[in-house]
Copies of this chain bind each other. A is one copy, B any other.
Amino acid sequence: MTQLLKGNMLIAQSGGPTMVINRSLVGAIQEAKRYKEIQGIYGSLHGIKGVLDENMIDLRKESKANLEAVAVTPSSALGSVRKKPAEEECLKIFGIMLKYNIRYFFYIGGNDSAETTHIINEHARKINYACRCFHIPKTIDNDLLENDHTPGFGSAAKFVACAVMGGDLDNRALLGVKIDVVMGRHAGFLTAAAALARVNPDDGPHLIYLPERPFSMKQYVEDVKRVYNKLGRCGVVVSEGISDAEGSAIATKFTTETDSHGNVQLSGTGALGDLLANEIKTQTKIARVRADTFGYLQRSFPGLVSEVDAREARAVGELAVRWAVGKDSDGSVVIRRKPGKKYAVFFERVPLKAVAKATRHMPDAFINKAGNDVTPTFLEYVRPIVGPLPKAAQFKRVRMPVVG
């Protein structure tokens, strides 16, 4: 066996936070402590930005108790960043890695982070600098290639299912149209998970619109009217990224008209929900129409977690370190599902470029023909990732006979 690579380790977090991203981080840190080859364990603050600014912390100075407390805390404890380093920045990052004798680099994030890790890895090869680079998957969007699903998704999906369940109970009591806007720019997995809120045949959500299918305002109004006329209420869930047949996002198209500053973003605004609500108010005679935009709550809500997601998030962090050090390899950890009725996964290493750049979408088998709902196949896929949900009960409602 060859001598293992000795030196310091650097770890960072990138992109949108999740409820379980710190479990991956702490999993990696704790695993790293098992190898004498790993000397310093450094954390870069705010992703790759902390490397460029040489703004790093000593993770060996954190007590085990505090590490475990951080592990169960939502959002990125090292801070995050939305930044893809340019070519020259990659060279600069490289210089800093040399200076600090970084021999192990771990980046927790989505496909952009995988790409950054890939670029750094390629640079290392080019100049013959021995350095193991691993990407650790994370995204509530569930849109990474190669993965059956991604850490962070299950817990966010649990939040969405709970929130939609509660919204439907609320709408059952006060009767109207309830619209919920869920995160997801290009992939509809998280929005689709709202379907888990259904227990009884008339439970919402009654309509689900995803970015994978063109959104027609006319069809939407027709759909809502049909459900409302049948049930006396209607629950709608849409992805923030729903787009028209030409591919332009509904949110962007309409919000530019009202926002004079051009600062259009999909998340952190209630504009799409308000737009969809107004459309129902003007095109139908339905009086009570309400919209909620789940916003940042769905990715950072403390105390709400899918147990499966939490376990897998920890595992991918641990495995990245184990494979980088013990197997002297580079790559990304991916989650695969074993075939069969009972839920079981296994983890594999894939080359960094296999998960970089591109994103995965909802497969056709997960979306109904009308493009306004999910299929039972999707529910089978998503249920074990999210785990058990709170139970919601209804009265049998045995009517009193009308007297006299």
Contact = CB atoms under 8 A, between A and B. Distances in A.
Interface in A242-264: 258-259, 261, 263
A43 interface: yes
A43 B76 CA distance: 48
Contacts of A263: 278, 281
A392 interface: yes
Give the interface size bracket for A toward B. Answer: 35 or more
B166 A74 contact: yes
A222 B334 CA distance: 47
A344 to B, nearest CB: 26
Contact of A57 (B70, B81, B400): B400
Nearest to A402: B54
A297 interface: yes
A393 B73 contact: yes
A396 B61 contact: yes
Given A162-B302, A395-B62, A274 B267 contact: no
Interface string A387-401: 001111111111110
Contact of A174 (B61, B80, B399): B80
A66 interface: yes
A165 interface: yes
Contacts of A17: 169-170, 173-174
A277 interface: yes
Interface in A346-387: none
B297 A66 contact: no
Given A169-B300, A292-B293, A292-B295, A400 B273 contact: no
A174 B74 CA distance: 13
A397 B261 contact: no
A341 interface: no
B296 A297 contact: no
A6 interface: no
Contact of A393 (B69, B178, B270, B289): B69
Nearest to A263: B281
Given A77-B173, A270-B273, A294-B297, 17 more contacts: A17-B174, A54-B403, A69-B391, A70-B393, A72-B391, A73-B393, A75-B170, A79-B173, A82-B174, A162-B301, A162-B302, A162-B303, A167-B297, A170-B299, A269-B270, A291-B295, A292-B296
25 contacts: A43-B395, A54-B402, A57-B400, A62-B398, A72-B391, A74-B392, A75-B166, A75-B173, A77-B394, A79-B173, A79-B174, A79-B175, A80-B173, A82-B174, A166-B297, A167-B297, A169-B300, A261-B281, A268-B289, A268-B291, A270-B271, A270-B293, A291-B295, A292-B297, A302-B390
Closest CB pairs A-B (n = 7): A270-B270, A268-B290, A69-B393, A303-B390, A75-B169, A292-B295, A166-B300
